[in-house]
Amino acid sequence: MTNEMTIIEKIIFEKIGKITSPGDIVVLPIDTAMAHDGTAPLMIKSFEEMNAKKVWDSSKAVFVIDHVAPSSNEGTSRLHKMMRDFAKKHGIKLYDIGEGICHQILPEKGHVFPGAIVVGADSHTCTHGAFTAFATGIGSTEMAAVFASGKLWFKVPESIRINVNGKLKGNVMSKDLILYIIGEIKADGATYKAVEFTGNTIKEMSMESRMVMTNMVVEMGGKTGLIETDEKTKVFLEGRVNIPFKEIKADKNAKYSDEMEIEAERIEPMVSCPHSVDNVKPVSEVEGIEVDQVFIGSCTNGRLEDLRIVAKVLRNKKVKTRTIVMPASREVLLNAIKEGIIEELIRAGCVVGVPGCGPCVGSHHGIPSPGDVVVSTTNRNFKGRMGIADAYIYLASPLTAAYAALNGKITIPEVIL
Amino acid sequence: MIKGRIWKFGDNVSTDDIIPGKYKFKTIDLNELSKHVMEGIDPTFSSKVKPGDIIVAGKNFGCGSSREQAPLVIKHAGISAVIAKSFARIFFRNAINIGLPVIEEKELYDNVETGDIIEISLSDGKIYAKGRVFNFKPIPSFLMRILEDGGLVEHYKKKGKFIWEDNFL
Ligand code: SF4
The pLDDT of residue B24 is 76
Answer whether A136 contacts ligand 1 (Cβ < 6 A).
no
d(CA A264, CA A199): 10
The pLDDT of residue A417 is 76
B164 and B132: one domain?
A: no
The pLDDT of residue A159 is 98
B42 and B80: one domain?
A: yes
Sign for the pseudo-dihedral over CA of A136, A129, A396, A319: positive
Under DSSP, the state recorded for A156 is P
Using alpha carbons, list the distances in angstroms from residue A270 to A232, A274, A405, B30: 27, 13, 16, 39
Under DSSP, the state recorded for A100 is B
Please choose, from the candidates A313, A303, A323, A220, the residue with its C-alpha nearest in 3D space to the C-alpha of residue A269.
Answer: A313
CATH of the domain at B129: 3.20.19.10
Report the pLDDT averaged over residues A19-24. 94
The pLDDT of residue A2 is 64
Using alpha carbons, list the distances in angstroms from residue B78 to B10, B50, B51, B71, B151: 20, 6, 4, 11, 16
Whole-number average pLDDT of chain A: 96
Q: Is the Cβ pair B67, A139 closer than 8 Å?
A: yes
Beta-bridge mates of residue A136: A119
Residues of chain B with Cβ-Cβ distance to A138 below 8 Å are: 66, 90, 93-94
Task: Report how far apart the first and last C-alpha atoms of chain A are (Å, whole number).
Answer: 43
Report the pLDDT averaged over residues B51-79. 95
CA angle A103, A105, A109 (to 5 degrees): 135
The residue in chain A having the minimum alpha-carbon distance to the alpha carbon of residue B32 is A75
**pTM listed for this prediction:** 0.94
Residue B167 pLDDT > 80: no
Burial call A8-20: b when 16+ CB within 10 Å, e when fewer = bbbbbbebeeeeb
Sign for the pseudo-dihedral over CA of B96, B15, A47, B54: negative
Give the H/E segment covering residue A323.
strand A322-325
Ligand 1 centroid to Cα of residue A123, in Å, is: 9
Name the B residues in 105-164 with CB < 8 Å from any A CB: 140, 142, 151-153, 156-157, 161-162, 164
Report the pLDDT averaged over residues A315-330. 98
B112 and B153: one domain?
A: no
For the domain A272-407, what is the CATH code?
3.30.499.10
| Fold match between domain A7-262 and domain A272-407 | yes
B83 and B12: one domain?
A: yes
B37 and B116: one domain?
A: yes
d(CA B17, CA B52): 21
Question: In whole angstroms, how large is the CA radius of gyration of chain B?
Answer: 16
DSSP-derived pairing of the beta strands A117-120 and A32-36: parallel
- Nearest residue, CB atoms, A382 vs list B14, B59, B161: B14
Domain that includes residue B71, residue range: 2-138
Sign for the pseudo-dihedral over CA of A241, A246, A247, A251: negative
Please choose, from the candidates A198, A206, A196, A200, the residue with its C-alpha nearest in 3D space to the C-alpha of residue A167.
Answer: A200
Ligand 1 centroid to Cα of residue A357, in Å, is: 5
The pLDDT of residue B166 is 78
DSSP-derived pairing of the beta strands B117-121 and B2-8: antiparallel
B15 and B44: one domain?
A: yes
Q: Where are the domains of chain A?
A: 7-262, 272-407
Give the H/E segment covering residue A106.
helix A102-108
pLDDT digit string, tens, across residues A74-87: 999 999 999 999 99
B134 and B154: one domain?
A: no
Residues of chain A with Cβ-Cβ distance to B169 below 8 Å are: 25-27, 153
Ligand 1 centroid to Cα of residue A213, in Å, is: 15
Residues of chain B with Cβ-Cβ distance to A383 below 8 Å are: 16-17, 40
A363 CB near a chain B CB, below 8 Å?
Answer: yes
Lowest mean pLDDT among A164-173, A294-303, B35-44: B35-44
d(CA A55, CA A5): 33
CB atoms within 10 A of CB A259: 12
B144 and B121: one domain?
A: no
The identity of residue A232, as a single letter, is K
pLDDT bin (cut points 50, 70, 90) of residue A255 is: very high
d(CA A6, CA A342): 42
B28 and B95: one domain?
A: yes
Contact A357, A379 (CB under 8 A): no
Domain tally for chain B? 2
Contact B12, B63 (CB under 8 A): yes
The pLDDT of residue B169 is 54
pLDDT bin (cut points 50, 70, 90) of residue B40 is: confident
The pLDDT of residue A25 is 92
B116 and B167: one domain?
A: no
pLDDT bin (cut points 50, 70, 90) of residue B64 is: confident
**What topology does CATH give the domain A7-262?**
Aconitase; domain 3 (3.30.499)
Q: Of all atoms in ligand 1, which is nearest to the CA of residue A103?
A: 5
B57 and B116: one domain?
A: yes
* Three-state DSSP class for residue B140: coil
The pLDDT of residue A1 is 55
pLDDT digit string, tens, across residues B136-150: 999 888 999 999 999
The pLDDT of residue A133 is 98
Report the pLDDT averaged over residues A340-362. 97
The pLDDT of residue B22 is 78
B92 and B161: one domain?
A: no
Sign for the pseudo-dihedral over CA of A403, A70, A241, A16: negative
Nearest CA to ligand 1 atom 4: A299
Q: How far is C-alpha A113 from the chain's CA centre? A: 16
